[in-house]
Structure 1
Amino acid sequence: MPRVKKAIIPAAGLGTRFLPATKTVPKEMLTIVDAPIILYVVEEAVKAGIEDIILIAGRGKHAIEDFFDTSYELEDKLAKDGKEKLLERVTRIRDSANIISIRQKQAMGLGHAVLCGLPIVGKEPFAVLLGDEITMGFHGEPNVTSQLVSSFEETGTSTISVMKVEDKDVSKYGIAEIEEKSTGFFKVTSLVEKPKASETNSRWALPGRYVFDNAIMDILQNAKPTLNGEIQLTDSMKVLCAQHGLNAMTFTAQRFDAGDKLGYLQANIELALQSPELNQELKSYILSLAEKLK
């Protein structure tokens, strides 16, 4: 079975769901504690053994490309700002993986963004990591992409991550209808994009981590726009499921939707608590605040 060496990271539109006035800063470049969101995502891919990182960027996303370029100006600024650790992280990524940028000329949905990576992916399997979703294993767990890569390389079947959501959140996600094969591991029987809670019995949502056999690219090439006039990745996954099979698995890592107001705040708090520099003072502040809120 071929190794998974490539990953596509689609970058979303300008601004954010919680900072609508921002017209020039991609949300993937917003900072979580001391590094932009996109760096956490790329680091996850590299830790999973990915060698080629394919950034799919639309209009106004130059800041993401520039961040990973060798740049005297950026490196000098980081050094002068005392951000040597961030500079070390960026340099480590440059030394560990190839960062390749492809322009998505039209915002035609996630499925179209993934298809834009075809010239680099070719006939190989690949991972997809959404650029505003962060997953972190704080207690030595393998990261989500690593788990998916291992599953694919063992079974030869495309594998996606899933998480349980409440009824009120079903319409925010693509939903997988599944049959359990073993604890935490499932066969996907169907998928539906952002249904009402009454339209499916499943509460297993897609949190933005996938590993695909290349067959998905053939399906995407023939896909038609559906919901919101966009080419939905979920629609092509449904076809993949019927024609080639599709597995799903849960994960133990923590996941933050950093494109959401609450998720962004939670990610900052949780990651700051892992920082030796911030842990004690932040913990004391949270405990004192909790007393005031009683």
Structure 2
Amino acid sequence: MKIKKAVIPVAGLGTRFLPYTKAIPKEMLPIMDIPVIHFIVEEAISSGIDEILLVTSKDKKCIEDYFKPNAKLEKFLRDRKKIDCLKQLKRVPDNFKLYSIIQNEPKGLGHAILLAEKFVRNDYFTVFLPDDLIFSKKPVIKQMIEIFEKYKKPVAAIEKIERKKISSYGIIKPQKIRDGLYNVVDIIEKPAPQEAFSDLGIVGRYILPPQIFNHIKRNQTNIRKEIQLTDSLKKLINTTGLIGYEFDGMRCDTGDKTEYMLAIFRYASIKKELTKKFKKEIKKIFRF
């Protein structure tokens, strides 16, 4: 069973990055010269995904435009012999099918995923939350697909969460399979630290079965009239089962200003042509 489809919810308002996000989608925040969404799509394609659905809003057309060819710009660069610039332009992934559907109101992650039902049909599929940018040697979704192929169960990416941040995550009750791999016995959404089952929280990568849609349809909205995903994941535990996987990689929550800056630093530190100068300049900054 090959997993070939990805759903990427991008309809969020990005209020933590106002006023920038008043005009520019948060998914287009630059990590130096590349927007966040580029990294997400690149991870998907590198993992064997060839169909991607953006659950988007009517104000975010520029995300789709980013992945479309721009013949006029390419001609300009060729005519001016700006070969290096043309090479940079060619870094934008285009070897996949891109679809979109509008989420008219921000009704939660569960609702966003439900909108993908016709796109997914009867296939297992991946979900990427684009705030979570993960630097890794092997793409995280590819790591998770390998787990799925072995255990034939849905998979959620997990990581150890600092105690002070536990109340911002869905926290699992784990049953160990081996180091870094767990059967999920239960999930509690955004608990107080003293109420948490563990320090293992679910982060923004999933492999889900088509049965998830029926579970979402039966969910109740929360106090903010949103349909969240956690209740549906809990139902999967009792049907298909659910595996929590501690991935190999470094995650940065680019929806958080501090972690967004860390993502830029991390990216600069692994770019060979920038590393030496970058480290030198950083030392100057933190000398004071």
With normalisation by structure 2, the TM-score equals 0.92
Deviation of the 1:278 alpha carbon: 1.7
1:238 offset after TM fit, Å? 0.8
Q: 1:227 to 1:89 in 2, by over 3 A?
A: farther
Are positions 1:272 and 2:268 aligned together?
Answer: yes
| 1:88 alignment partner in structure 2 | 90
**Paired position in structure 1 for 2:98:** 99
Deviation of 1:22 after TM superposition, in Å, equals 3.1
What percent identity do the matched residue pairs reach? 37
Summarize the alignment of residues 51-90 of structure 1 with structure 2, pairs less than 5 Å apart: 51-73=50-72, 75=74, 83-90=85-92
Counterpart of 2:250? 254
Q: Using the alignment, how far apart are the partners of 2:252 and 2:38 within structure 1?
A: 14
Distance 2:30 2:134 in 1: 15
State whether residues 34 and 86 of structure 1, in contact with CA within 8 Å, keep that contact through their aligned partners in structure 2.
no
Which segment drifts farther, 263-272 or 217-226? 217-226
Deviates more, 1:76-85 or 1:143-152: 76-85
Instruction: Tell me the alpha carbon deviations over residues 55-111 of structure 1, each in whole angstroms, 9 at most, x when there is no partner.
Output: 110231111111112333565688889643431121xx21x2111111112211001
Structure 2 residue aligned with 1:195, among 171, 175, 191? Answer: 191
Counting only pairs closer than 5 Å after superposition, residues 221-260 of structure 1 correspond to structure 2 as 221-260=217-256
2:17/2:26 contact within 8 Å kept: no
Q: Contact (CA 8 Å) 2:184, 2:243: kept in 1 or not?
A: yes
**Change in 2 beyond 3 A, CA 1:153/1:184:** same
> Considering only aligned residues, what root-mean-square deviation do their CA atoms show, in Å?
1.9
The count of aligned residue pairs is 285
Question: Any conservation in 1 of the 2:28–2:63 contact (CA below 8 Å)?
Answer: yes
Which residue of structure 2 lines up, in the alignment, with residue 133 of structure 1? 132
- What's the CA shift string for 1:213-264, capped at 9, x where partnerless? 2211221122221253211011110111122210011012111111110111
Q: What does 1:179-190 correspond to in 2, within 5 Å?
A: 179-190=175-186
Q: How far apart, CA to CA, are the structure 1 residues paired with 2:76 and 2:190?
A: 43
Distance change >3 Å, CA 71–CA 165, structure 1 → 2: same
Task: Tell me the distance in 2 between the aligned counterparts of 1:48 and 1:181.
Answer: 24
TM-score, with normalisation over the residues of structure 1? 0.91
Shift of 1:34: 1.0
Q: Does 1:164 align with 2:157?
A: no
Would you say 1:215 and 2:215 are equivalent positions?
no
Indicate conservation of the 8 Å contact 2:4/2:125, yes or no: yes
| CA gap 1:17/1:77 in 2 versus in 1, 3 angstroms | farther
Distance 1:171 1:76, change over 3 A: farther
Secondary structure in structure 2 of the residue aligned to 1:4: coil
Tell me the amino acid that sits aligned with residue 154 of structure 2. S
Aligned mates of 2:173, 2:187 — CA distance in 1: 6
> Does the 8 Å CA contact 1:173/1:205 hold for their aligned counterparts?
yes
For the 8 Å contact 2:47–2:142, the answer to whether it is kept is yes
Relative to structure 2, which stretch is displaced further, 148-157 or 180-189? 148-157
Question: Could you tell me which amino acid in structure 2 is paired with residue 224 of structure 1?
Answer: Q
Shift of 1:289: 3.4
Question: Which residue pairs with 1:39 in the alignment?
Answer: 38
Q: Provide the residue aligned with 1:114 in structure 2.
A: 113
Q: CA distance change for structure 1 residues 278 and 76 in 2, over 3 Å: closer, same or farther?
A: farther
Give the secondary-structure state (helix, strand or coil) at the position aligned to 2:272: coil
Answer yes or no: is the 8 Å Cα contact 1:7–1:50 preserved in 2: yes
Hey, what's the Cα distance between the residues in 2 that align with 1:273 and 1:75? 30
Q: What amino acid maps onto 1:62 in structure 2?
A: K
